Amino acid sequence: MGDILKDKVAVVTGSGGGIGKAIAISFADEGAKVVVNDIGGEKDGTGASALPADRVVQEIKDRGGIAVANYDSVTEAQGGENIIKTAVDNFGRIDILVNMAGIIRDRMIFNMTEEDWDSVIKVHLYGHFHTTKPACVLMRQQRSGRIINIVSISAFGNMGQANYGAAKAGILGFTRTVARDMGRYGVTCNAVIPTAPTRLGWSPEVKAAWEKRAAAGDMRAKYSLETLERIAPEDNAPIFIYLASDASSNVNGCLFYARGNWIALYGDPIRIKTIYTKERWTTKELMESMPESLAEGLVNPAPPQSPK
């Protein structure tokens, strides 16, 4: 047992399995008292069971740690409040919040239903808000706290994930804003893109598709397959422990990408090119200028294809 998080109280939503479970256990191993939250549903958000959260709590206790379970849903404001209240009722405070809960409902945009959109936005984007707000009320009063949100490379654009990508991009903006709202009170808010072959995004069907692409010569697919085969959920724990610790007090509003043996810090979006005119742009002037200025060298990431 370590002591980096000794006497800290942590809430980890969606920690009944996968990366969330690994984070909850690693926090407990470093001395934190942990609230293991999970509704025990399927990866599309349907169903519920107490077993996943209960099993993680028992595993933490078997390792000599301290933990309690919570089964509330992050999709409702009351659920978020109940999750944070579980920490206060059992351990007297809340020091760390990790918003890990998530679902996926992948569809191409032309097939996506309103329910597909709403369910993913509710769990991810609303879910982060529903736990972060009540946590911030308490963290502001005690003038300390660590919030860690979960983003994905889908925030940068990923086929078939308009709902998930939109939610994750929103969470990144949410993270940077909460960091500015809460920094003056000694509270930090950062985001992590974790990596591991978990049930949320790594089904047999997805793996088969990547293997097909790799066999066809797609080097990105080949590299991703090789990387995922050697990464475990536990490999993400160190960056989460660091961001949850007192040592990270100067790290606020940042995005990190953890991928096995490397961890990257992402910067804010930067302006690449700028074009000017004397007073204001006319459509004719811009149409003439764009091909040799801002649009020069740009490549369509999804160029038109012939009908199959």
Instruction: Quick: pLDDT tens for 149-168.
Output: 999 988 888 888 899 999 99
| Same domain, yes or no: 90 and 221 | no
Task: Answer yes or no: do 216 and 241 share one domain.
Answer: no
- Name the residues annotated as catalytic: 164
Tell me the mean pLDDT in the region 246-255. 97
- pLDDT of 299 over the 60 cut: yes
pLDDT at 217 over 80: no
Residue 21 counted as domain residue: yes
Q: Where are the beta strands (DSSP E) in the chain?
A: 9-13, 33-37, 66-70, 96-99, 145-150, 187-193, 255-259, 262-266
Instruction: Transcribe 208-246 into DSSP letters.
Output: HHHHHHHHTT-HHHHHHHHHHHT--GGGGHHHHHHHHSG
Q: Give the amino acid at 280.
A: R
Read off the pLDDT band of 230 (50, 70, 90): confident
CATH of the domain at 15: 3.40.50.720
Number of domains forming the structure of the chain: 2
CB 101 within 8 A of CB 50: no
Q: Range with the lowest mean pLDDT among 53-67, 114-128, 166-180, 205-219?
A: 205-219
Q: Is residue 154 included in any domain, yes or no? A: yes
pLDDT band at 9 (very low <50, low <70, confident <90, very high): very high
* Confidence category of residue 228, pLDDT binned at 50, 70, 90: low
Evaluate whether residue 163 is within a structural domain.
yes
Does the residue 292 lie in any domain?
Answer: no
* Same-domain status, 226 and 238: no
Q: Based on the fold, state whether residues 122 and 210 are members of the same structural domain.
A: no
Q: Is residue 82 predicted with pLDDT exceeding 60?
A: yes
**Which pLDDT value is given to residue 261?**
86
Q: Is 137 left (phi over 0), alpha (psi -120 to 50) or beta?
A: alpha
> Do 169 and 96 belong together in one domain?
yes
Same domain, 69 and 207: no
Q: Which pLDDT does position 269 carry in this prediction?
A: 86
Q: Do the domain assignments include residue 287?
A: no
**Average pLDDT estimate for 178-197:** 95
Better-predicted residue by pLDDT, 208 or 143: 143
Residue 100 domain-assigned (yes or no)? yes
Do 225 and 236 lie in one domain? The reply is no
pLDDT of the residue at 131: 98
Q: What is the pLDDT of residues 25-74, one digit of tens each?
A: 999 999 999 999 999 877 656 777 899 999 999 999 999 999 999 999 99
| 41 within some domain | yes
Pair 131, 32 in one domain? yes
Could you tell me if 142 and 222 lie in one domain?
no
* Shared domain check, 224 and 237: no
CA angle 88, 91, 96 (to 5 degrees): 70
Same domain, 192 and 161: yes
Confidence at residue 307, expressed as pLDDT on a 0 to 100 scale: 87
Smallest CA-to-CA distance from 21 within 49, 60, 50 is with 60
Question: Contact at 8 Å (CB) between 35 and 68?
Answer: yes
H or E element: which one contains 172? Answer: helix 162-182
Domain housing 222? 203-230
CB 12 within 8 A of CB 35: yes
Q: Is residue 278 part of a domain?
A: no
Position 232 scores a pLDDT of 87
Q: Are residues 46 and 84 in the same domain?
A: yes
